[in-house]
C-alpha cells in the first residue's frame, strides 16, 4: 500500500493531483456552480479550503491545460461526466491577501496597481500562443492594462473566467486593526474614484460583452461586498445554499477511510483508529452552512494537521489546535469588547438557551462594524461568518439557531474570557497550576479559595445583578479548561439531561494519574440567605454548610450527578476514573463544594 501524502498548507490543485497527494473529490460541484450563475460570491471561514477550490476551477476551465484534462480530472467525478465548457476559458486569478495593507493609501494603491499588472503580464505570457493581439502593459495604470487584455481576449473565440480570492482582505485588516488610521485608509480605498472601487466597476463592466464571462469570488464575510455594492452589485450569493454546504471541508466518511489506512501503516488496532476518529469529530467537526439538518463538516486544515501528525508519529498530536488558526482569537477579542459581546460569548459557551436570531445579516459595512450599534443579530452574524459560530438548525419559532462548532473553537472562547476576567498573567499561571493539582487530587478547595480571593473580585455590580449558575460555571470552566488532557464539554447531553461540565480524559492520556470529572454548579444570591458580602466572607466553611438552602442545593446537585454518572459509565465503561463534584456559590463571596462518592 502506497503511503499517503497530505497536502497540509498546499492549495495548488495541480501540485496535489500530479504529486499524488490526498485529495477529497469536490469536482461534482462544478456542474452545480455553473448552473448557479455566471458571477458568484462564496463565503467560508479562513483556512477552510477556499483557495484550493479556486485552484480546482482554474485547472478545470483553463484552455491551456486542455491536453492535461484526463490526468487532472479523469479519475474524479467531473472527469467521468464533464460539462461542455471545460478547458474553454482564459483564466485569471487575483489573490488580494498578498496586497500589503499596513502602508498609507498611496502605497496600497501602488501595490494593488503593481499586482494587477503583474497578473496581466503572466496572463499574456501564458496565453501568448493563443492570443492574436499583444496586451499592452501600462506600468502606471493597471486598469488600462486590463482593458487591453479584454480587447485581446475578444479577438479570440475564448472568453475570460476571473477568480478572486480573499476579496475582503482589506476589510478584514481594518476590522481587526481597531484604529482610525486603518478606517481612513479603507475609506480612501473605497472613495468615489479609488482604484479598488474603479477596479470592481471595471470587472462589472467587462461582463457586459467585453470578454469577461464568468467571475467566482471567495472571502470570509459580506462586509466588503456591502461597501463596494454600487461598484459591483451583480454577484450571486451561494454560500448558504444546501447543495454547497460541503463544497469546502471534509465529511466524516471521507476521514474514516484515511484514518483506517494510517492505522494499518502504523500497526494501530481498530480501537485506536476509532479513538482517532472520535477525537477529530470532537475537536474539528460541527460546521454547518445551511439551516437545514444536514451533515456537518470538518475543518479541512485542522483535519490535515491531525492526519499528518498521526501518520508521522503514529500517535495523536498533543496540541489539537493548529497554531495557524490562533489569530482567530483577535476576532473574538473584538467581539468581546462590544456592548453585550461578553454576555453573548458566555451564552454561546453555555448553549442554554442557544443563541438564535431571525436571520443572518448579509449587508453591513466596515463603518457598521467599527462604529454602529451592535445588536445580537449583528454580533451573531459576524461570529458565524468568522467561523466562530455555526448554524444549528431552527428554533421552534423558526429562528436560526447557532452553536460553537467544536472543541478547538470552544477553547478560543474560554481563553478570551479567561484573559478578560483574570487580566494578570501571573494570576492566570497560578490558576492553571491549581487546575493541574486538581486533576491529580480531585481536591477543589485550592481553586475555590482562589475564586473567592481573586477571580470573583473582577466581576462588576452589573455582573452580580445578572449572576446565575452560568456565571459561576463559566468562571470555573476558564480555570479548569485543558484540551491537552481532557475532552471538555459544557451542557453535554446525558440521558436527555444536561451536565454542567464534563471532563473526560483523552484516550491516549489515560495512563496518567488523573481523574475524569462531572461538575454540577448551583448559585445562591446573598439576599436569599439574608447575608451581606462582609458577613458572608466572615463565615467559616462549617457555618456556610449549615444553611438549609446550601444543603438543599448540594443535595440537588448530588442527585443530578448520580444520574449523569450512569450515563457516562454506560458510554465509557470501566476505564472511567470518575469523580463527581457539586459546587455551590454564595454570591461572589464564597464557594462550597463536596465530592460525591460514585455508586
pLDDT tens per residue, range 498-534: 788 999 999 889 999 999 999 999 999 999 999 998 9
What is the spatial distance between Cα 439 and Cα 462, in angstroms, rounded to a whole number?
33
- Per-residue pLDDT of 441-469, as tens digits, reads 999 999 999 999 998 887 765 566 677 88
To 5 degrees, how large is the angle CA 142–CA 145–CA 149?
Answer: 135
Residue 459 vs residue 246, higher pLDDT: 246
The torsion of the CA quartet 384, 389, 391, 393, rounded to 10 degrees, works out to -140
Domain ranges across the chain: 25-244, 252-325, 423-599
Give CB contacts under 8 A, 24+ apart, made by 133-136.
none
Longest dimension (CA), the chain: 93
**How big is the chain, counted in residues?**
599
Average pLDDT for the chain: 89
Q: What's the pLDDT at 289?
A: 96
490 pLDDT above the threshold of 70: no
Would you list the DSSP string of 284-346?
Answer: H--B-SSSSS---BB-HHHHHHHHHHHHHHSS--S--S-GGGTTHHHHHHHHHTSTTHHHHHH
pLDDT of residue 324: 62
Q: How far apart are CA 23 and CA 577, in angstroms?
A: 40
Q: Alpha-carbon distance 158 to 277, whole Å? A: 46
pLDDT tens string 320-378: 876 665 556 677 777 777 777 778 888 888 777 889 999 998 877 777 776 666 788 88
Percent of the chain with pLDDT over 90: 65
25-244 has CATH 2.60.120 classification: no
Distance (Å) of CA 26 to CA 233, 250, 370: 28, 10, 37
Q: Above 80 in pLDDT, residue 206? A: yes
Give me the DSSP letters along 554-597.
Answer: HHHHHHHHHHHHHHHHHHHGGG--EEEEEEEEETTTEEEEEEEP
Going by DSSP bridges, is the β-strand pair 236-237/578-586 parallel, antiparallel, or unpaired?
A: unpaired
Q: Pick from 276, 310, 282: which is nearest to 487 by CA?
A: 282
Q: What is the pLDDT of residues 278-289, one digit of tens each?
A: 999 999 999 999
Residue 339 near residue 462 (C-beta atoms within 8 A): no
Grid coordinates given for 365: 459595512
Amino acid at each position: 500500500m502506497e503511503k499517503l501524502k497530505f497536502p497540509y498548507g498546499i492549495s495548488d490543485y495541480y501540485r496535489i493531483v500530479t504529486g499524488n497527494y490526498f485529495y477529497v473529490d469536490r469536482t461534482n460541484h462544478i456542474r452545480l456552480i455553473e448552473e448557479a450563475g455566471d458571477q458568484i460570491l462564496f463565503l467560508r471561514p479562513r483556512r477552510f479550503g477556499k483557495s484550493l477550490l479556486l485552484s480546482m476551477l482554474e485547472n478545470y476551465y483553463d484552455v491551456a491545460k486542455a491536453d492535461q484534462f484526463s490526468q487532472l480530472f479523469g479519475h474524479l467525478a467531473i472527469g467521468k461526466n464533464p460539462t461542455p465548457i471545460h478547458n474553454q476559458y482564459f483564466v485569471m486569478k487575483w489573490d488580494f491577501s498578498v496586497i500589503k495593507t499596513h502602508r498609507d493609501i498611496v502605497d496600497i494603491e501602488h501595490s494593488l496597481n503593481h499586482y494587477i499588472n503583474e497578473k496581466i503580464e503572466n496572463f499574456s505570457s501564458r496565453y501568448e500562443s493563443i492570443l492574436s493581439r499583444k496586451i499592452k502593459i501600462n506600468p502606471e495604470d493597471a486598469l488600462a492594462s486590463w482593458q487591453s487584455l479584454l480587447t485581446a481576449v475578444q479577438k479570440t473565440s475564448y472568453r475570460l473566467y476571473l477568480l478572486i480570492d480573499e476579496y475582503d482582505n482589506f476589510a478584514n485588516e481594518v476590522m481587526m486593526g481597531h484604529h482610525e488610521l486603518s478606517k481612513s485608509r479603507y475609506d480612501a480605498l473605497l472613495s468615489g474614484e479609488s482604484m479598488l472601487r474603479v477596479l470592481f466597476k471595471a470587472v462589472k463592466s467587462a461582463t457586459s460583452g467585453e470578454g469577461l464571462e464568468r467571475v467566482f469570488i471567495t472571502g470570509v464575510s459580506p462586509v466588503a461586498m456591502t461597501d463596494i455594492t454600487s461598484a459591483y452589485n451583480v454577484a450571486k450569493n451561494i454560500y448558504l445554499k444546501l447543495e454547497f454546504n460541503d463544497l469546502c471541508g471534509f465529511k466524516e466518511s471521507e476521514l474514516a477511510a484515511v484514518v483506517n489506512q494510517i492505522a494499518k501503516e502504523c500497526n494501530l488496532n481498530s480501537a485506536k483508529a476509532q479513538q482517532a476518529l472520535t477525537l477529530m469529530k470532537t475537536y474539528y467537526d460541527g460546521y454547518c452552512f445551511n439551516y437545514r439538518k444536514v451533515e456537518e463538516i470538518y475543518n479541512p486544515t485542522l483535519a490535515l494537521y491531525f492526519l499528518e501528525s498521526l501518520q508521522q508519529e503514529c500517535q495523536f498530536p498533543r496540541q489539537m489546535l493548529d497554531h495557524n488558526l490562533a489569530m482567530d482569537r483577535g476576532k473574538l477579542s473584538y467581539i468581546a469588547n462590544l456592548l453585550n459581546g461578553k454576555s453573548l460569548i458566555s451564552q454561546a459557551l453555555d448553549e442554554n438557551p442557544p443563541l438564535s436570531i431571525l436571520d443572518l445579516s448579509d449587508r453591513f459595512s466596515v463603518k457598521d462594524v467599527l462604529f454602529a450599534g451592535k445588536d445580537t443579530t449583528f454580533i451573531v452574524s459576524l461570529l458565524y461568518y468568522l467561523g466562530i459560530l455555526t448554524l444549528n438548525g431552527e428554533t421552534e419559532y423558526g429562528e436560526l439557531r447557532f452553536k460553537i462548532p467544536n472543541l478547538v473553537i470552544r477553547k478560543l472562547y474560554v481563553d478570551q474570557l479567561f484573559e478578560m476576567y483574570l487580566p494578570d498573567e501571573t494570576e492566570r499561571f497560578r490558576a492553571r497550576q491549581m487546575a493541574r493539582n486538581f486533576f491529580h487530587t480531585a481536591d477543589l478547595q485550592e481553586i475555590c479559595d482562589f475564586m473567592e480571593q481573586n477571580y470573583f473580585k473582577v466581576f462588576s455590580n452589573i455582573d452580580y445583578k445578572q449572576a446565575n449558575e452560568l456565571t459561576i460555571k463559566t468562571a470555573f470552566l476558564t480555570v479548569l479548561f485543558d484540551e491537552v488532557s481532557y475532552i471538555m464539554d459544557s451542557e453535554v447531553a446525558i440521558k436527555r439531561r444536561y451536565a454542567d461540565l464534563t471532563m473526560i480524559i483523552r484516550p491516549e492520556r489515560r495512563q496518567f494519574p488523573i481523574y475524569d470529572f462531572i461538575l454540577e454548579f448551583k448559585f445562591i444570591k446573598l439576599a436569599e440567605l439574608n447575608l451581606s458580602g462582609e458577613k458572608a466572607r466572615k463565615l467559616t466553611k462549617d457555618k456556610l454548610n449549615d444553611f438549609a438552602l446550601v444543603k438543599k442545593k448540594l443535595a440537588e446537585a448530588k442527585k443530578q450527578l448520580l444520574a449523569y454518572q450512569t450515563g457516562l459509565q454506560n458510554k465509557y465503561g470501566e476505564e472511567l476514573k470518575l469523580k463527581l463534584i457539586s459546587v455551590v456559590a454564595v454570591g461572589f463571596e464564597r464557594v462550597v463544594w463536596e465530592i460525591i462518592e460514585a455508586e
